[in-house]
Structures are given as structure tokens and as C-alpha cells.
Amino acid sequence: MTERSRFHESITRENAAVVLVDHQVGLLSGVRDIPVADLKHNVVALARAATALDIPLVVTTTAADSMWGPTAPELVQALPAGQKIIDRSSVNAWHDDQVREAIEATGRQKLIFAGVSLEVCAALPAISATGAGYDAYVTLDASGTFSQAKREAGLLRMQQAGVIVSDYATLMVEALTDNAAAESGAVYAALDMPFAVLVGQISAAHRA
């Protein structure tokens, strides 16, 4: 399959996995390109929507006990019960055997990355995954970094390497595929779109 046709293939709940890299309290404290409250909201929504769609999650931290602290509590609460958080020392999460093997074990070809910082924690494993033959996507609004210049540099490098950039809600509704699906209400609720859930309830009441 050519590169052009690969990225024209839709994301589905069957072909996607979500990789969350280093949404840790220490790193989050330095984020300047997006309000930290918005970033936390968005990555929590991404995790919840993926869970509603039964899309596998791989979650990792860097030096949680020595440098950057634990995963943000809001995100931990949003993860599925029993979700493992893999701590590592490597800068590029793809270079850690446990992380890479966890991604490979999902059996999914389309990898949706989010991370702090954008240009390192999200971009580097996404670029490496692309080089390994995966289709890599980065959710810009569920990632953050420490300056606007670093954000722009990360975007340029990812685009040059063939990584697709998008936002968390678009990728999750693309995976939903059909608004008539049984999970649609849970997905829109996870994405914090209560108006969609409300309209759906009103429409259902009218049909009854």
C-alpha cells in the first residue's frame, strides 16, 4: 500500500491504538503553548473515548520517581481498570522494549500519540513508529510543550517525517464511524459534548 493510500484509510476501532506519553505532573507544570487545564481535559477525554470504543491504550511515563513525577491524577482516574503505566528511562518511548512490545501486542496499525512534550514525547515515538511501518497520528490538543517555538519546531519535524497531525475529538469520532452505533452516546459524553448526547436523547424520545 502506498503512503498516500495508507493515510486515506480511515481510523476505526479495529485498527487503532492510543499511546499516551508522559502526561506527568512535573512536565505539565512547564506547559506554555496550551492552558494546562485544557490539556488535561483533552487527554482525559481522549482516554475515555478510546475506552468507550474498546480501543487499546498504552500509557507510559519517564523517570516518574526521580524527575517528572506521576501521571496526572485526572488521567489516571480516566484510564480503564487495571491499565498498566509503563515507566522508562529512554527519551524516545519507542526505544523502550516494554513500550514498543506493548504497542506491538495491540496488533493495531494506526497509532494515535499524545504526549508532553509535543516535540519529544509525542513526536519522537510517532516518527519512529512511522519508520517502522506504522501509520502514526499525533493529537495536537492532547499534547503540550514549553514554548510556541518548540511547538512549531515539533510540527514541522513531524510533517517532514510523514506523521499526520489532528485533534483528539476528530480522531475519536472517525473511529466511531457511525452515529447510530450503540457506543455513540458514551463517546460523545467522553468527548465532553453534552449537547450531542442531549439531542440524541430528544430524538430518541420523539421516535418512541
Q: How much is the pLDDT for 49?
A: 98
Q: Phi and psi of 82, rounded to 5°?
A: 85, 5
**183 C-beta neighbours (distance < 10 Å), count:** 17
Residue pLDDT, tens place only, 159-170: 999 999 999 999
% pLDDT > 70, the chain:
90
Concerning whether 157 is annotated as a catalytic residue, the answer is no
Judged by average pLDDT, the poorest of 86-100, 113-127, 133-147, 183-197 is 183-197
- Out of 3.30.70.270, 2.170.150.20, 3.30.430.20, 3.40.50.850, select the CATH number for domain 3-177: 3.40.50.850
Q: How much is the pLDDT for 200?
A: 54
- Kindly report the pTM of this predicted structure: 0.92
Residue 202 predicted with pLDDT over 50? no
Task: Name which of 40, 42, 41, 43 is nearest 20 in CA terms.
Answer: 43
Residue 206 predicted with pLDDT over 60? no
What DSSP state is assigned to residue 141? G
Beta strands in 24-143 (DSSP E): 57-62, 85-88, 110-115, 135-139
Q: Which of 121, 126, 140, 169 is catalytic?
A: 121
Mean pLDDT of 57-64: 98
Mean pLDDT of 77-101: 98
Domain boundaries, the chain: 3-177
Do 108 and 56 touch, CB atoms closer than 8 A? Answer: yes
Mean pLDDT of 53-62: 98
Phi-psi region of 86 (alpha: psi -120 to 50; beta: other; left: phi over 0): beta
Enclosing H/E stretch for 101:
helix 97-106
Mean pLDDT of 58-82: 97
Enclosing H/E stretch for 108:
none
The whole-angstrom distance between residue 200's C-alpha and the CA centroid of its chain comes to 26
Tell me what the pLDDT averaged over the chain comes to: 93
For residues 189 and 185, what is the distance between their CA atoms, to the nearest angstrom? 6
